[in-house]
Amino acid sequence: MEENKQKSIHDILPLDLIHIILLRIPVKHLGRLRCVSKLWHSLISDPDFAESHLHLSLAPTHACIYRKVSTKSYLVHVEEVFNGDNYQVKEVSFPFKKQPPSKFRVMGSCRGFVLLHQEPHFFVVWNPLTGFSKRVSYSWLNILHRSKGRYFYFPGNAILYGFGYDATQDDYLVVVAWKDSNCQLLDCLSLRTNSWINLDAALPKRFGFCLWESEGLFLNGSIHWLPYSLKHYSEGLLIFDLKERSFSKMSLPEQLIMGGPATFVILGGCLALYFQDYVEGNTHIWVMKQYRVHSSWTLYVIPCLEFEPLCLSNGCDIIALDSILARPLKFAKYNIRGELLQHFTCPAHLPHDIYKYGSYHVYTESLLLLPSDNKHKDKKNNVI
């Protein structure tokens, strides 16, 4: 009599279906699922799977890193804070072998990578989920030979900068615009080749870089900058296409009426800006629901003044920092009709002064590796 054997999941479901299911699972769970079998480990560790998961996952995982002046940092998965006791607020270490240097900054994020800058001339590309990090040492010599000055200090001398990805070259780029005497200059650092590329030819004549905020946001293959002040909002958003190496502009909503400057964010994969209406006690959020379609700018009004949007949950609910000037730190979730759905106060073990005396950065997690490191996908985490 043949013995009954317990069937494995591979006997029940075809591999193609397992692959499709895994692509829909939130990325934060995939690390544990690697341990199910050698087959699953191989599948989830494949760079092509990581790329597909970034685009096909039904529930992108948004993480928020809070950095205190003391260099202590904490990570919160934003959506989890509303899941009862399932949330975690954990202390994280930046990818430095020794205590993090005091003079380093978070410069932006792209596709799950956080870009750090360490003085005097180091970039650190870090994937907090996988633990992978890579230090990129750069030289300003090729920039300075075009300069009449004797030094270039980043980011202080940068008028504009941004971190993005060129899919056509499979390369991550740091774009820097700066001014030397009366000349405006544009360069980008390729992280694949660790070399600078002169992009001065992409500059339109009589181009006023100073009209836009310094830090740009990456979306849909381009880096975007918001006008610096209210009087320049008629200039619209400034866009640099990383594939075409060209600039363009995009108009802001005509109905935009503000009493102060706006903040530029990405919400649900869409460009958005928000500002506080101190007369009505509301926060106004404008979202471009279809990329580069001007008529798709949509206004949402949240009946809360101290409100900083972090991300969208379930594709429509807005999660934000609430009462940011008060202690303790609070999160709030509103729907797009401005109705409060949930409220959460940070736990006792998270220092209450973490926002007031520090900074935060929100990014979307991924399993991606840097292109030049795909062949080393099983090597141990790098530490700098």
CB distance 265 to 300 below 8 Å: no
pLDDT at 145: 59
Q: How does residue 223 score in pLDDT terms, banded at 50, 70 and 90?
A: very high
Indicate if the pLDDT at residue 226 is higher than 70: yes
Q: Which residue has the higher pLDDT, 155 or 288?
A: 288
CB distance 240 to 247 below 8 Å: yes
> How far is residue 179's CA from residue 199's CA, in Å, rounded to a whole number?
13
Q: Say if residue 27 is in the same domain as residue 99.
A: no
Q: Amino acid identity of 251? A: S
Q: Which are the contacts of 320, defined by CB distance < 8 A and separation ≥ 6?
A: 302, 304, 307, 308, 309, 310, 331, 332, 333, 334
Q: Say if residue 32 is in the same domain as residue 77.
A: no
Q: Say if residue 125 is in the same domain as residue 79.
A: yes
pLDDT at 314: 78
Q: Say if residue 114 is in the same domain as residue 213.
A: yes
pLDDT at 383: 42
pLDDT at 92: 83
pLDDT at 109: 95
Tell me which of 141-155, 156-170, 225-239, 312-326 is least confident: 141-155
**Distance (Å) of CA 58 to CA 127, 223, 290, 359:** 21, 25, 19, 29
Q: Say if residue 221 is in the same domain as residue 249.
A: yes
> How far is residue 204's CA from residue 248's CA, in Å, rounded to a whole number?
10
Is residue 237 a part of any domain in this protein? yes
> How far is residue 291's CA from residue 297's CA, in Å, rounded to a whole number?
9
Kindly tell me the burial class for residue 221, based on how many C-beta atoms sit within 10 Å of its own C-beta (0-12, 13-18, 19 or more).
Answer: middle
Q: How does residue 113 score in pLDDT terms, banded at 50, 70 and 90?
A: very high
State the alpha helices, DSSP H only, in 57-204: 141-144
Is residue 377 a part of any domain in this protein? no
Q: Say if residue 191 is in the same domain as residue 327.
A: yes
CATH code, 131: 2.120.10.80
Q: Which tens digits make up the pLDDT trace of 9-41?
A: 666 778 888 888 889 888 888 878 888 888 888
Is residue 3 a part of any domain in this protein? no
Q: Say if residue 69 is in the same domain as residue 47.
A: no
The two three-digit tokens of residue 303, written as one number: 């009946």
Q: Which residue has the higher pLDDT, 3 or 215?
A: 215
Indicate if the pLDDT at residue 354 is higher than 80: no
| Contacts of 335-338 spanning 24+ positions with Cβ under 8 A | 336/300, 338/300, 338/301, 338/302, 338/303
Q: What percentage of the chain carries pLDDT values higher than 90?
A: 29
Per DSSP, the three-state class of 250 is: strand
CB distance 179 to 186 below 8 Å: no
The two three-digit tokens of residue 232, written as one number: 């320049």
Q: Say if residue 253 is in the same domain as residue 282.
A: yes
Do the bridges between strand 270-277 and strand 263-267 make them parallel or antiparallel, or are there none, so unpaired?
antiparallel
Q: Which tens digits make up the pLDDT trace of 50-80?
A: 999 988 877 788 998 887 655 567 888 888 8
Q: Tally the C-alpha atoms within 13 A of residue 218's C-alpha that lie toward its C-beta.
A: 25
Q: How does residue 1 score in pLDDT terms, banded at 50, 70 and 90?
A: very low
- pTM of the model as a whole: 0.87
∠ CA 113-119-121, nearest 5°, is 80
222 sits in the region (left: phi over 0; alpha: psi -120 to 50; else beta) called beta
> How far is residue 209's CA from residue 207's CA, in Å, rounded to a whole number?
6
How many domains is the chain built from?
Answer: 2
Q: Which residue has the higher pLDDT, 335 or 204?
A: 335
**Distance (Å) of CA 316 to CA 28, 71, 329, 335:** 21, 34, 23, 7
> How far is residue 264's CA from residue 266's CA, in Å, rounded to a whole number?
7
> How far is residue 226's CA from residue 271's CA, in Å, rounded to a whole number?
10
Q: Which tens digits make up the pLDDT trace of 257-305?
A: 776 778 999 999 999 999 988 888 899 999 999 999 999 999 999 998 8
Indicate if the pLDDT at residue 376 is higher than 50: no
Q: Which residue has the higher pLDDT, 288 or 184?
A: 288
> How far is residue 316's CA from residue 310's CA, in Å, rounded to a whole number?
13
Q: Say if residue 16 is in the same domain as residue 101.
A: no
Q: How does residue 377 score in pLDDT terms, banded at 50, 70 and 90?
A: very low
Indicate if the pLDDT at residue 114 is higher than 70: yes
Name the average pLDDT for the chain: 81
Span 86-115, average pLDDT = 80
Q: Say if residue 30 is in the same domain as residue 96.
A: no
Q: Say if residue 38 is in the same domain as residue 157.
A: no
Domain that residue 20 falls in? 9-52
| Tokens 């930046």 sit on residue | 94
Is residue 384 a part of any domain in this protein? no
Tell me which of 182-186, 187-191, 276-280 is least confident: 182-186
